Amino acid sequence: MIEIIPAIDLIDGKCVRLSQGDYAQKTVYNENPLEVAKMFADAGIRRLHLVDLDGAKAHHIVNHKVLEQITYGTDLIVDFGGGLKSDDDLRIAFECGAGMVTGGSIAVKNPDIFSSWITKFGGEKIILGADVKDEKIAVGGWLETTELELFPFIKNYLHQGISKVICTDISKDGMLQGPALELYKKMLAAEPDMYLIASGGVSSVRDIELLDEASVPAVITGKAIYEGKIKLKELMQFIIKN
């Protein structure tokens, strides 16, 4: 049964969503992220994906106080990402209660540091963020597309001990037009033991059902919940079975 992981994206300490990673296409959904996190926890959700979009732009952790408020104010297991570029950033994230951290750009720009995190903290604590556009890796809060191919990129880190991979198809994210189902099927066919976390494009409970039918282990959803396309009570069928 697929694991449901709601997302909270942070800019200026507020809960926001972007469309296709574009900072100019920002919608503020709630000025109190802790309130949103408590809503998820009250619905029986166990995991939260918290993204520091300010940090992604600044290249260092920014919204760690919000992380701390959520981890100490709820029982949610929080995976935190956005702007984690140094050992000090990681230290702050874990001290503020993060259960796991996600590294995307750092895994591209400074693979030695990212690899050292895997060695130091273990593959269960470090999630690989693989943001893609046309199967090429994108970095910097999606501001830059690289020439790195998705499949070799993932395989390299799986061999180093990573088990969880968040894959976001930028063309789908925030568009409410359905997830990159065929891409995820292709990824799982190539790496069946990978704990793949689908992200981007989820617009309905049916999208989640299709991902579940494709044996995708987990899904991140944000905008669909905030805009009422998915009701939390509709997710109970997945939450209860997990």
The residue from 54, 89, 131, 169 that is catalytic is 131
- Annotation marks residue 9 as catalytic: yes
The CA distance from 182 to 213, in Å, is 12
The CA distance from 145 to 20, in Å, is 13
The CA distance from 95 to 91, in Å, is 6
CA-based nearest residue to 100, from 170, 163, 167, 154: 163
Question: What are the strands, taking DSSP E only, across 160-208?
Answer: 164-169, 195-199
- Annotation marks residue 131 as catalytic: yes
The CA distance from 31 to 78, in Å, is 19
The CA distance from 131 to 168, in Å, is 5
Residue labelled with tokens 């994210």: 173
Other C-beta atoms closer than 10 Å to the C-beta of 91 total 11
The residue from 9, 89, 169, 212 that is catalytic is 9
Catalytic residue numbers read 9, 131
